[in-house]
């Protein structure tokens, strides 16, 4: 089970939320050509089947058939209209943008799917994006005026190429996360998340919410998406990723990123009028359709529990993992029956924890430099490499890198015997 999949460790930069700049670093394998933005993206680098676990190591995978849910399926029980929205949104999610349609001037990918592809459309990938900033006496500065904290490492013309500026003394990679089941996570009420904040440390675990001002709704909400829980709603994430990863301005984010903050350069190369995401007769743009695709995207399918996995489930509790990786939360009221009062088996409290040495050194919103959101563990068997920067090729390595509030649980994991470790990992391969 430890050999889930060897990561290819391509370090491509993708941008992410909060106007920080991300940059991609040289990818070792078929990087999309830097100066050919209008060309279709390089074929997606799907994880190779050779890197998947051997069938005999897998806990009884049921044969695929129409009734077995698969990664990438829509939520079960959608209405005809919701299913239509899922399908229309998926087209937009896969759509390849060009210079003429507003791509760039600086960007990280031509489409959402170029990064969110494995093992199905809407999944993750081995691609990373880069964030940078400057820390003095523990205070993080995102270097916004120099194009930070997210680097856009690709461009429509080499004249606008963005780099990590010399002023940066923190550079961090962010691995692409899968989007399966995010509509369910969005539908979890804030109160349900707040329940898990502890007043006093339990086993060293405290946890705090990420409080954000949501751009789409204008409301103060609990952030739950991204490695730092920096975004609260799918519509805001859709719009943020559109402008920061692809350079497509939209009604929520109408301002282009200037290459390393250089407004003069931007005005020379930004030829498409903003916002580039134009609205249809109903006042809706691509950002709405893409958000709908994510909203209706089903949760990762679970595998049947083997006797070993059942034993591993007990160890997951007794080792203290479940203090943060809360197995299940519930959605609340919702317009859609597919999202209303549903159990969400996400294995996360959606809270920020001080992870000590595992923190990435970047502050975003409420999240300080050592804080990271508890990563949901559902679908783990298909989401290697692991941790925020993809440093861990296996689940075992990911657990061993835990620190800070998770140190007690990590130490207990290290004391398990080999058989118990295997059981725990087998369990994690089914969720
Ligand atoms: C260049 C690669 C890249 C592209 C292109 C890209 N993303 Fe991402 N995506 C990432 C990375 C990396 C993360 C993790 C970022 C973080 O948390 O800082 C991420 C995270 C996300 C998340 C949060 C997932 C979670 O579980 O919390 C959403 C939602 C998302 N992306 C949607 C999109 C959409 C929609 C598009 C297209 C408009 C898009 N992404 C384009 C790389 C990419
Ligand atoms: C204090 C809270 C906390 C505890 C306790 C904890 N974790 Fe985590 N876990 C996290 C956070 C936060 C992350 C994301 C860390 C990062 O990438 O920087 C994470 C990430 C992971 C990942 C990688 C997920 C991915 O998609 O990359 C795995 C696997 C994991 N934890 C398993 C475990 C197991 C097994 C235990 C018990 C031995 C455990 N964790 C205990 C908070 C915790």
pLDDT digits (tens, 9 = 90+) for 125-152: 999 999 999 999 989 999 999 999 999 9
Under 8 Å CB-to-CB from 110, ≥6 apart: which residues? Answer: 32, 37, 40, 41, 96, 97, 98, 103, 246
Predicted pLDDT at 64: 54
For the residues 103-118, what does the mean pLDDT come to? 97
pLDDT of 255 higher than 50: yes
Predicted pLDDT at 12: 36
In the chain, % of residues over pLDDT 90: 83
What is the 241 CA–ligand 1 centroid distance (Å)?
A: 6
Does the CB atom of residue 290 touch ligand 2 within 6 A? no
What is the 345 CA–ligand 1 centroid distance (Å)?
A: 21
For the residues 80-95, what does the mean pLDDT come to? 98
Contact 323, 203 (CB under 8 A): yes
Asked whether residue 2 is domain-assigned, the answer is: no
pLDDT of 19 higher than 90: no
Range of the domain at 108: 75-276+283-428
Atom of ligand 2 nearest to the CA of 359: 18
CA distance 400 to 414: 8
Asked whether residue 183 is domain-assigned, the answer is: yes
As given in the structure block, the two tokens for residue 136 are 């003095």
What is the 401 CA–ligand 1 centroid distance (Å)?
A: 23
Predicted pLDDT at 100: 94
Asked whether residue 70 is domain-assigned, the answer is: no
pLDDT of 20 higher than 90: no
pLDDT per residue over 190-212, tens digit each?
999 999 999 999 999 999 999 99
Asked whether residue 69 is domain-assigned, the answer is: no
Under 8 Å CB-to-CB from 290, ≥6 apart: which residues? Answer: 89, 92, 93, 112, 238, 242
What is the 14 CA–ligand 2 centroid distance (Å)?
A: 23
Q: pTM score, two decimals?
A: 0.88
For the residues 7-36, what does the mean pLDDT come to? 34
Contact 80, 99 (CB under 8 A): no
For the residues 339-366, what does the mean pLDDT come to? 97
Contact 349, 374 (CB under 8 A): yes
Crossing angle between the packed helical segments 286-296 and 234-246, to the nearest 10 degrees: 120
Asked whether residue 8 is domain-assigned, the answer is: no
Does the CB atom of residue 353 touch ligand 2 within 6 A? yes
Predicted pLDDT at 63: 54
CA torsion, ordered 51, 56, 57, 63, to nearest 10 deg = 80
What is the 89 CA–ligand 2 centroid distance (Å)?
A: 31
pLDDT of 52 higher than 60: no
Predicted pLDDT at 68: 84
For the residues 179-187, what does the mean pLDDT come to? 98
Contact 347, 377 (CB under 8 A): yes
DSSP 242: H
pLDDT per residue over 385-430, tens digit each?
999 999 999 999 999 999 999 999 999 999 999 999 999 999 999 9
CA torsion, ordered 14, 15, 16, 19, to nearest 10 deg = 180
Mean residue pLDDT of the chain comes to: 88
For the residues 71-84, what does the mean pLDDT come to? 98
For 308, phi then psi, to 5°, come to -65, -40
- From atom 5 of ligand 1, which residue's Cα is the shortest distance away? 109
Asked whether residue 34 is domain-assigned, the answer is: no
For the residues 76-82, what does the mean pLDDT come to? 97
Q: Cα angle vertex 409, ends 403, 414, to 5°? A: 90
Asked whether residue 4 is domain-assigned, the answer is: no
Asked whether residue 366 is domain-assigned, the answer is: yes
How many domains are there within the chain?
1
pLDDT of 33 higher than 90: no
Does the CB atom of residue 383 touch ligand 2 within 6 A? yes
pLDDT of 41 higher than 70: no
């Amino acid at each position: 089970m430890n050999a889930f999949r060897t990561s290819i460790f391509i370090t491509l930069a993708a941008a992410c939320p909060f106007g920080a700049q991300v940059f991609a670093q040289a990818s070792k394998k078929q990087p999309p050509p830097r100066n050919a933005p209008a060309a279709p993206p390089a074929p997606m680098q799907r994880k190779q089947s050779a890197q998947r676990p051997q069938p005999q190591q897998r806990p009884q995978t049921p044969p695929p058939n129409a009734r077995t849910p698969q990664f990438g399926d829509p939520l079960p029980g959608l209405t005809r209209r919701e299913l239509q929205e899922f399908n229309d949104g998926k087209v937009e999610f896969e759509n390849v943008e060009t210079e003429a349609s507003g791509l760039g001037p600086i960007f990280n990918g031509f489409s959402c799917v170029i990064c969110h592809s494995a093992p199905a459309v809407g999944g993750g990938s081995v691609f990373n994006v880069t964030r940078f900033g400057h820390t003095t006496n523990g205070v993080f500065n995102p270097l916004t005026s120099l194009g930070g904290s997210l680097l856009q490492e690709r461009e429509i013309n080499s004249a606008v190429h963005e780099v990590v500026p010399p002023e940066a003394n923190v550079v961090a990679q962010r691995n692409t996360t899968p989007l399966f089941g995010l509509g369910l996570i969005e539908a979890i009420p804030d109160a349900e998340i707040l329940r898990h904040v502890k007043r006093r440390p339990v086993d060293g675990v405290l946890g705090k919410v990420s409080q954000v001002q949501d751009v789409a709704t204008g409301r103060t909400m609990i952030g739950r998406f991204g490695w730092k829980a920096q975004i609260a709603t799918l519509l805001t994430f859709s719009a943020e990723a559109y402008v920061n990863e692809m350079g497509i301005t939209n009604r929520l984010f109408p301002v282009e990123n200037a290459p390393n903050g250089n407004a003069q350069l931007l005005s020379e190369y930004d030829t498409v009028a903003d916002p580039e995401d134009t609205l249809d007769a109903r006042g809706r743009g691509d950002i709405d359709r893409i958000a709908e695709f994510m909203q209706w995207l089903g949760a990762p399918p679970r595998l049947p529990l083997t006797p070993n996995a059942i034993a591993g489930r007990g160890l997951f509790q007794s080792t203290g993992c479940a203090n943060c990786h809360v197995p299940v939360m519930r959605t609340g009221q919702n317009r859609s029956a597919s999202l209303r009062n549903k159990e969400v088996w996400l294995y996360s409290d959606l809270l920020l924890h001080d992870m000590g040495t595992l923190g990435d050194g970047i502050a975003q919103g409420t999240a300080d430099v050592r804080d990271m959101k508890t990563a949901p563990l559902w679908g783990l068997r298909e989401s290697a490499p692991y941790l925020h920067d993809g440093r861990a090729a296996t689940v075992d390595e990911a657990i061993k890198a835990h620190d800070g509030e998770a140190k007690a649980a990590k130490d207990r994991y290290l004391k398990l015997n080999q058989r118990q470790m295997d059981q725990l990992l087998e369990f994690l391969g089914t969720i």
